[in-house]
Amino acid sequence: MRIVVIGATGHIGTFLVPRLVRAGHEVVAVSRGTSTPYADTPEWTRVERVVADREQEDRDGTFGDRVAALAADAVVDLVCFTVESAGQLVRALRGSRTHLVHCGSIWRAGVSHVLPITEATMTPPFGEYGVRKDAIARLLQEETASGGVFTTSVHPGHISGPGWMPIGPLGNLDPSVVTRLTRGETVEVPGLGAEAMAHVHADDVAQLFQLAVEQRDAASGGAFFATAPTALTVRGYAQLVASWGGREARLESVSWDRFREVTAPDHADASWQHLSRSQVFSTAEAERVLGYAPAWTASETVRDALRWQVEHGGLEVAAGTTI
């Protein structure tokens, strides 16, 4: 197939584009041209490149037509964040046989009432990002149900992999938390430490996008969660990190007010966004319909990402730590 990937050089595209090339597809990579993939693999030499400023062209009302003119069998949209942007692309693709596969977010689901969360049992979203992603997914499902464009949405968890810092043990991107745990220092934890996070390896997310693209009829109209088969709690994640330094995690449970007093505002806000949701997801629907088979557990996922950080000088750990 001829497949257009929008936002091709990001977290998911870094793994998805080589997958598609290896599978024999013709790939067109659309990006702003300001960044390179996190991993430079030989498959990228066989990819057609298109440079486009999606935000500017959305404002001009030209981006949808630009993509439609590429005459793809499938369009994978990894960087759509508003209903207006999604709507423009949908309108441009109407009347074609193109399959639009959209990247959403697990945050289209709200707080957890029953675990694991399924596509049928999720509660309404909260927060601007989650509300927007949910609205886009609903627009796409309604479009397909009404006989319009073939669409599918994939909703990843906390995408992690080599090349960028994963969401850490406290639900934020503060690398010092990992450093302190490997040193055996006490770390203050907001709440009980039983809150869960839904990590997923970028290559597993790429796997589900590939499955959706290659099985249009089965995937059309669907919305699928993409997470690891396991989830880490705060204390489980902390213990995992501490164990790499041969230590036990030393955790002190504190109130959220106390946590905000001793934590940088951006890190405290990120912790609240992740831990207040305390989400664990089922991937049963993606497994049943598309054959999704995640290869990485949550523990293996964060280990792979953090090992890369240490090896490339992005993260300090105690002497003797083996990740």
Domain locations in the chain as residue ranges: 2-159+199-226, 162-198+230-278+297-311
On whether the CB atoms of residues 99 and 151 are closer than 8 A, the answer is: yes
CA distance 310 to 174: 14
- Per-residue tens of pLDDT for the chain, all 323 residues: 999 999 999 999 999 999 999 999 999 999 987 788 988 899 999 999 999 999 999 999 999 999 999 999 999 999 999 999 999 999 999 999 999 999 999 999 998 889 999 999 999 999 999 999 999 999 999 999 999 999 999 999 999 999 999 999 999 999 999 999 999 999 999 999 999 999 999 999 999 999 999 999 999 999 999 999 999 999 999 999 999 999 999 999 999 999 999 999 999 999 999 999 999 999 999 999 999 999 999 999 999 999 999 999 999 999 999 99
Can you read off the two tokens belonging to residue 241?
């990190």
Which pLDDT does position 257 carry in this prediction?
A: 97
CA distance 97 to 71: 9
Among 169, 155, 160, 163, CA closest to 300: 160
Can you read off the two tokens belonging to residue 20?
């598609």
CA distance 107 to 281: 11
Burial of 111: CB neighbours in 10 Å, binned 0-12, 13-18, 19+: middle
Which pLDDT does position 130 carry in this prediction?
A: 96
CA distance 104 to 257: 32
Separation in Å, CA 312 to CA 127, 182, 308: 34, 18, 6
Which pLDDT does position 39 carry in this prediction?
A: 86
Choices 3.90.25, 2.50.20, 2.70.40, 3.30.1370: CATH for 162-198+230-278+297-311: 3.90.25
Can you read off the two tokens belonging to residue 13?
């595209």
Amino acid occupying residue 3: I
- CATH T-level topology, domain 2-159+199-226: Rossmann fold (3.40.50)
Which pLDDT does position 60 carry in this prediction?
A: 95
Which pLDDT does position 112 carry in this prediction?
A: 84
CA distance 224 to 210: 13
Residues 6+ apart with CB under 8 A from 321: 182, 244, 245, 246, 310
pTM of the model: 0.96
